[in-house]
Amino acid sequence: MQHYIPFPNISPEIFSITVGGFTFALRWYALAYITGLLIGWRIVLGLVKTPRLWPGHTAPMTPLQVENLLTWVILGVVLGGRLGFVLFYEPAYYFSHPWEIPMVWHGGMSFHGGLLGVLTAGYLFCRRQGIPMLSAADAMAVATPPGLMLGRIANFINGELWGRPTTMPWGVAFPGAAAQDCPGVVGICARHPSQLYEAGMEGVLLGLLLLWLAWRSGALRAPGRLLGVFLTGYGIARFVVEFFRQADAEFITASDPMGNVIQFGHLGGFSMGQVLSLPMIALGLFFLFRARRAD
Classify burial at 21, counting beta carbons within 10 Å of its beta carbon; exposed 0-12, middle 13-18, buried 19 or more. Answer: exposed
Measured CA distances, 129 to 123, 160, 233 (Å): 10, 40, 29
**Helical axes 272-294 vs 111-129, angle rounded to 10°:** 40
DSSP state of 253: E
Asked if residue 80 lies in contact with residue 98, where contact means CB atoms within 8 angstroms, the answer is no
52 is in an annotated binding site: no
Amino acid at 20: G
Residue 110 Ramachandran class (φ > 0 left, ψ -120 to 50 alpha, else beta)? beta
Residue 68 Ramachandran class (φ > 0 left, ψ -120 to 50 alpha, else beta)? alpha
Give the up-direction half-sphere exposure of residue 269: CA atoms within 13 A in the CB hemisphere: 1
Q: Binding-site residues, please?
A: 152
